[in-house]
């Protein structure tokens, strides 16, 4: 569904952020991308979304090279409070992208209420985003993405700004909507536990200039559970494996 | 029982609060009018009639017409309405041009580089200095006065719109791109609403500038309007009439601003709400 080949990115010649990244994502998978902070994860996500052009390399979405944002893709950003529009109600925020997707009015209303339902926020449609807590705002952002009915959902450290309990709830929400709608998800995070817990596969990135250190299959059973899954020896092993990869000094793995 | 007593206590406290805030808000004004009344009566100068005399004269001038005209006097139709309609026409033009041009400049680097130096230069011209030019070009009818008001009150709207549309939150624009909103939707649904708080601040400054320019425009080659009436009363030594005009301008300025703030509160309700909380 998504193929990333030899992607490089430099803001200016000599200032290479991303040296060489390649991986692919199969339909229906959750793939996490983890790496140390400053390794260009958000830059990579913007490249995947077609918001930024890579300096070299190619991204293909559904066998088409990505030039500009392709149809069938939705995003959830880390800073929900700045990505939701403060002058629009929750309903209007979710509905806005649908207006330009040629969805008729009754279907739009249904999609809005269904997606609010799916994130556990039915009844909050007439609120403004700033009247809700951080976790609820991020649910609204997820609802907006779900209502858009994307084939691919890109999530950029979506839970980095919420408290631990809310974070666990939102992780389970992502797992639940994945199970229910079968959306392919690319999930960027710096949290190794979160990556292993949610994903089918984890792409581990190095420090900048960024390369792929490894692509790891988690092989954990679904549905997952915050306590039971995280107690599995397999979970602990994968988590340690990734942590060792990331913490290893750069000089050891330089080609 | 204690809760009942508490409720009564609360109601009484609320009443005291209202009284207190009324006294605070209007007390000083009432006191100053009192001082004005007392000292002008003591002085007995014909240049400074007491406010009571001004009020009575104002009622004669503007509020003693026939019932068929809602008791509005001749002066309302001869002076106040022409002034107000020119004021609103000029200000509306300034708002429309300011927002349109400001959005173009704020969102387009090309336009910005092309127009910015000329605009900064034009902005430096004091509006009243252009009265002779406008009279030459546009004559002495209402059009000249409207254009003067529009030109002079354009700048705050224009500059604030440029600033507001230029500083839209990048993540909101990224979100618009990620959901493939077309250009017109970006403009109407993201850029303009985001710039609205700054645009409204500019419109408000423009409105008070427009009142000033309205008066200035009526002091030259005019045959009606509040400014004309003030000047004419002074020439004819009708000093109470002159003061009536000045007080009327204060009332108009105050009322327009109060109305504007009401509209702003309604339109930008989200903005106050959103800023009431920390952003994360």
ipTM, two decimals? 0.89
Structure tokens, A213: 């250190």
The second-level CATH assignment, the architecture, of B67-275 is Orthogonal Bundle (1.10)
With CA atoms as reference, the chain B residue closest to A84 would be B172
Q: Which residues contact A77 (CB under 8 A, 6 or more apart)?
A: A83, A141, A156, A158, B171, B174, B175
Structure tokens, A244: 């060792």
Return the residue matching tokens 């080949």: A5
For residue A169, give Cα distances in angstroms to A136, A159, A163: 11, 10, 10
Q: How confident is the model at residue A12 (pLDDT cuts 50, 70, 90)?
A: confident
Query: What are the residue ranges spanned by the domains of chain B?
Result: 1-37, 67-275
Q: Is A99 close to B185, i.e. CB distance below 8 A?
A: yes
For residue A167, give Cα distances in angstroms to A64, A139, A218: 34, 11, 20
Smallest CA-to-CA distance from A225 within A163, A155, A175 is with: A175
Query: Could you say which of A79, A129, A148 has the minimum Cβ distance to residue B171?
Result: A79
Query: Could you say which of A69, A75, A82 has the minimum Cβ distance to residue B172?
Result: A82
CB atoms within 10 A of CB B252: 18
A1-70+200-255 to CATH, choices 2.60.40, 3.30.160, 3.40.50, 3.30.700? 3.40.50
Residues A74 and A148 sit within 8 Å (Cβ to Cβ): yes
Q: How confident is the model at residue B278 (pLDDT cuts 50, 70, 90)?
A: very low
Query: Could you say which of B182, B190, B277 has the minimum Cβ distance to residue A130?
Result: B277
| pLDDT tens digits for range A129-177 | 999 999 999 999 999 999 999 999 999 999 988 888 999 999 999 999 9
Shortest distance between the Cα of B274 and any Cα of chain A, in A, equals 5
Q: How confident is the model at residue B15 (pLDDT cuts 50, 70, 90)?
A: confident
With CA atoms as reference, the chain B residue closest to A133 would be B280
DSSP letter for each residue of A124-142: -TTS-GGGS-HHHHHHHHH
Start-to-end CA span in chain A (Å): 30
Q: How confident is the model at residue B17 (pLDDT cuts 50, 70, 90)?
A: confident
HSE, CB side, 13 Å, CA atoms: give it for residue B7: 3
Separation of CA B205 from chain center: 7
Region B272-280: mean pLDDT is 65
Q: Which residues of B touch A158 (CB under 8 A)?
A: none
Smallest CA-to-CA distance from B84 within B222, B248, B261, B279 is with: B248
Q: Crossing angle of helices B131-138/B142-166, nearest 10°?
A: 120
> For residue B165, what pLDDT is reported?
96
Query: Could you say which of B174, B182, B273 has the minimum Cβ distance to residue A130?
Result: B273
Shortest distance between the Cα of A115 and any Cα of chain B, in A, equals 16
Smallest CA-to-CA distance from A10 within A2, A21, A22, A18 is with: A18
- Mutation pick from A48, A87, A147 vs chain B, by most beta carbons of B within 10 Å, is A87
Q: What is the mean pLDDT of chain A?
A: 92
**Which of A19-23, A128-132, A135-139, A244-248 has the weakest average pLDDT?**
A244-248
Task: Say whether B230 sits in a helix, a strand or coil.
Answer: helix
Dist. CA A43–CA A45, nearest whole Å:
5
CB atoms within 10 A of CB A68: 10
Query: What are the residue ranges spanned by the domains of chain A?
Result: 1-70+200-255
Q: How confident is the model at residue B280 (pLDDT cuts 50, 70, 90)?
A: very low
Q: Which residues contact A163 (CB under 8 A, 6 or more apart)?
A: A134, A135
Dist. CA A137–CA A152, nearest whole Å:
21
| pLDDT tens digits for range B69-126 | 888 888 888 889 999 999 999 999 999 999 999 999 999 999 999 998 899 899 999 9
Q: Is A69 close to B280, i.e. CB distance below 8 A?
A: no
Q: How confident is the model at residue B19 (pLDDT cuts 50, 70, 90)?
A: confident
Q: Which residues of A touch B196 (CB under 8 A)?
A: 87
> For residue B152, what pLDDT is reported?
94
CB atoms within 10 A of CB B191: 22
CB-based contact (8 Å) between B270 and chain A?
yes
| pLDDT tens digits for range A110-126 | 999 999 999 999 999 99
Return the residue matching tokens 């009526």: B218
Q: What is the mean pLDDT of chain B?
A: 91
Q: How confident is the model at residue B23 (pLDDT cuts 50, 70, 90)?
A: confident
With CA atoms as reference, the chain A residue closest to B179 would be A97
Shortest distance between the Cα of A169 and any Cα of chain B, in A, equals 18
Q: Is B179 close to A97, i.e. CB distance below 8 A?
A: yes
Q: Which residues of B touch A83 (CB under 8 A)?
A: 171-172, 174-175
Residues A241 and A71 sit within 8 Å (Cβ to Cβ): no
> For residue A102, what pLDDT is reported?
86
> For residue B64, what pLDDT is reported?
85
Smallest CA-to-CA distance from A90 within A133, A143, A24 is with: A143
Q: What is Dmax (Cα atoms) for chain B?
A: 80
Q: Is A100 close to B178, i.e. CB distance below 8 A?
A: no
Shortest distance between the Cα of B111 and any Cα of chain A, in A, equals 24
Dist. CA A125–CA A103, nearest whole Å:
19
At residue B274, does pLDDT exceed 80?
A: yes
């Amino acid at each position: 569904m998504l193929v990333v080949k030899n992607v490089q990115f430099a803001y200016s010649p000599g200032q290479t952020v991303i040296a060489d990244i390649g991986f692919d994502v199969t339909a229906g998978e959750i793939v996490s991308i983890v790496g140390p902070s400053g390794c260009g994860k958000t830059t990579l996500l913007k490249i995947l979304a077609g918001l930024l052009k890579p300096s070299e390399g190619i991204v293909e979405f559904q066998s088409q090279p990505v030039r500009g944002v392709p149809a069938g893709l939705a995003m959830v950003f880390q800073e929900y409070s700045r990505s939701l529009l403060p002058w629009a109600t929750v309903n209007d925020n979710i509905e806005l992208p649908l207006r330009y997707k040629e969805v008729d009015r009754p279907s739009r209303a249904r999609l809005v209420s269904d997606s609010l339902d799916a994130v556990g926020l039915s009844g909050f449609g007439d609120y403004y985003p700033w009247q809700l807590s951080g976790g609820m705002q991020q649910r609204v952002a997820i609802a907006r993405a779900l209502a858009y009915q994307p084939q691919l959902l890109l999530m950029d450290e979506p839970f980095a700004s919420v408290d631990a309990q809310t974070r666990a709830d939102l992780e389970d929400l992502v797992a639940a909507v994945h199970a229910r709608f079968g959306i392919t998800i690319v999930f960027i995070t710096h949290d190794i536990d979160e990556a292993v817990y949610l994903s089918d596969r984890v792409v581990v990135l190095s420090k900048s200039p960024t390369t792929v250190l490894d692509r790891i299959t988690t092989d954990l059973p679904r549905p997952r559970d915050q306590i039971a899954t995280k107690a599995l020896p397999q979970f602990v092993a994968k988590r340690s494996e990734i942590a060792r990869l990331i913490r290893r000094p750069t000089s050891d793995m330089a080609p | 029982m204690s809760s009942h007593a508490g409720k009564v206590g609360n109601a009484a406290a609320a009443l005291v609060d209202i009284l207190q805030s009324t006294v605070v808000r209007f007390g000083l004004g009432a006191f100053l009018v009192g001082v004005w009344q007392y000292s002008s009566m003591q002085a007995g100068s014909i240049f400074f009639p007491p406010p009571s005399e001004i009020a009575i004269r104002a009622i004669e001038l503007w509020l003693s017409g026939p019932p068929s005209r809602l008791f509005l006097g001749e002066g309302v139709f001869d002076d106040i309405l022409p002034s107000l309609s020119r004021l609103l026409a000029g200000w509306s033009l300034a708002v429309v041009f300011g927002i349109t041009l400001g959005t173009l400049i704020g969102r387009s680097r090309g336009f910005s580089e092309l127009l910015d130096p000329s605009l900064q230069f034009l902005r430096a011209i004091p509006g009243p200095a252009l009265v002779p030019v406008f009279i030459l070009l546009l004559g002495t009818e209402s059009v000249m006065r409207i254009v003067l008001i529009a030109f002079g009150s354009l700048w705050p709207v224009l500059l604030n719109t440029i600033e507001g549309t230029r500083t839209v939150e990048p993540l909101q624009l990224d979100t618009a791109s990620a959901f493939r909103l077309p250009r017109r939707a970006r403009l109407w649904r993201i850029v303009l609403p985001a710039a609205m708080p700054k645009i409204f601040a500019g419109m408000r400054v423009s409105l008070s500038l427009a009142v000033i320019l309205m008066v200035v425009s009526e002091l030259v080659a005019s045959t009606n309007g509040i400014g004309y009436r003030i000047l004419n009363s002074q020439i004819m030594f009708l000093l109470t009439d002159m003061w009536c005009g000045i007080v009327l301008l204060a009332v108009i300025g105050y009322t327009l601003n109060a109305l504007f703030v009401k509209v702003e509160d309604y339109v930008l309700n989200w903005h106050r709400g959103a800023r009431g909380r920390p952003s994360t």
